[in-house]
């Protein structure tokens, strides 16, 4: 099984375990399985050491939850919190102390769902305050898995990882800056854009170009999203067999609308961590367009009605009973991520 498939399988099981109440259960059922999939022997204390002693200053007996060892020396530290914990600065400071007291160059703070990767890019042997990479086991892209794979036992290379960490840090900073520019373009950027078009950069020109720049950014993003939707949305085909839920329209099957395609894209994004997006497709049934798994009408994920005055979606409980929820906008689909994830994981079990 490929590494990405291993992570997808883990994601489908982790979601059902995320309600565990304590830290030990989180470590045993959520963190250790990931470490195992990274290729480390969790039953070999010389490779994966639990409660690794990391004495800090005058404090003796300080222990980090797990240390990955290579040739007897720590290379990665894991500090774990229970699944319901919102990781914060206090938890980062705790890992910071352990990091400073060991030879490890990489520290990971996790609650079993979110994994935050730290190193010492700014000051040697002093862990940075911000992670250079974050991995969400329930919401990841293929590119995230490729970054995670660099931490597997067979691929681990400290120097190469350190260089990659710097690249990721810079990429994140540039992305944040561009995001800010989209919503509030700085004067210097607007002035640069207007240099050839309006040589006299007066206050009125400044305001005009700032407003136009924001509009153009929004238009450009919308165009890119629409192009992406056209590329990734699977071609719809009529099913050949009837479903116990409902039958396909025999004649004049409804055309798929742009809203429905956007709805499909949102659901694919929500479930990306649990199932390959290509396994989800849209089927036009008599009563309501339905997103199904593996083109199987007996595996409905949800129904979407987005073209009437009152938009709504229907998801399914554990008995496949329909539950309807009215929605005000297509983005409200995100509010039902938990129900959608539970449905798709029930088919994968």
| Domain residue spans of the chain | 3-169, 184-232, 258-348
**CATH code 3.30.720 for 258-348:** yes
CATH of domain 3-169: 3.90.1570.30
pLDDT > 60? residue 240: no
Binned at pLDDT 50, 70 and 90, residue 79 comes out as very high
Pick the closest to residue 145 from 155, 135, 133, 153 (CA basis): 135
Average the pLDDT over 319-348 and give the result: 87
- CA 277, CA 89: separation in Å to the nearest integer? 34
- Exposed, middle or buried by CB within 10 Å (0-12, 13-18, 19+), for 292? buried
Radius of gyration of the chain (CA): 25
- CA 155, CA 139: separation in Å to the nearest integer? 23
Most confident of the following: 5-19, 46-60, 271-285:
271-285
3-state secondary structure of 28: helix
H helices within 62-197, ranges in order? 89-100, 142-149, 158-183, 187-194
pLDDT > 70? residue 316: yes
Please state the pTM of the whole predicted model. Answer: 0.61
pLDDT > 80? residue 6: yes
- CA 18, CA 138: separation in Å to the nearest integer? 10
How many DSSP H helices and E strands does the chain contain? 10, 11
User: What percent of the chain is predicted at pLDDT more than 70?
Assistant: 86
Average the pLDDT over 81-109 and give the result: 92
Average the pLDDT over 147-169 and give the result: 94
pLDDT at 308: 67
């Amino acid at each position: 099984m490929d590494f990405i498939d291993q992570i997808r399988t883990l994601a489908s099981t982790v979601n059902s375990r995320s309600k565990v109440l304590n830290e030990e259960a989180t470590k045993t059922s959520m963190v250790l399985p990931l470490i195992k999939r990274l290729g480390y022997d969790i039953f070999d204390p010389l490779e994966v050491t639990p409660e690794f002693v990391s004495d800090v200053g005058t404090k003796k007996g300080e222990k980090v939850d797990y240390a990955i060892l290579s040739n007897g020396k720590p290379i990665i530290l894991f500090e774990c919190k229970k699944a319901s914990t919102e990781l914060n600065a206090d938890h980062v400071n705790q890992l910071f102390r352990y990091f400073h007291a060991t030879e490890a160059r990489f520290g990971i703070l996790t609650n079993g769902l979110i994994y935050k990767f730290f190193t010492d890019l700014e000051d040697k042997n002093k862990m940075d305050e911000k992670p250079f990479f974050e991995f969400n086991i329930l919401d990841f892209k293929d590119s995230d898995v490729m970054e995670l794979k660099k931490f597997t036992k067979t691929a681990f290379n400290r120097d190469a990882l350190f260089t990659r960490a710097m690249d990721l840090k810079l990429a994140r900073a540039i992305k944040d800056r561009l995001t800010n520019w989209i919503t509030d373009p700085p004067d210097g950027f607007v002035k640069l854009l207007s240099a050839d078009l309006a040589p006299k950069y007066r206050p009125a020109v400044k305001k005009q170009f700032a407003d136009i720049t924001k509009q153009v950014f929004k238009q450009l993003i919308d165009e890119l999203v629409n192009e992406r939707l056209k590329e990734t949305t699977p071609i719809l085909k009529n099913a050949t067999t009837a479903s116990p839920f409902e039958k396909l329209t025999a004649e004049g099957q409804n055309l798929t609308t742009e809203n429905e395609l956007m709805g499909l894209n949102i659901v694919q994004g929500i479930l990306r961590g649990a199932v390959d997006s290509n396994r989800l497709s849209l089927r036009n049934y008599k009563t309501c367009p339905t997103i199904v798994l593996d083109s199987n009408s007996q595996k409905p994920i949800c129904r979407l009605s987005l073209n009437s005055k009152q938009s709504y979606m229907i998801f399914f409980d554990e008995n496949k009973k329909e539950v309807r929820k009215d929605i005000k906008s297509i983005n409200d689909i995100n509010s039902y991520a938990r129900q959608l994830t539970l449905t798709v994981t029930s088919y994968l079990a």
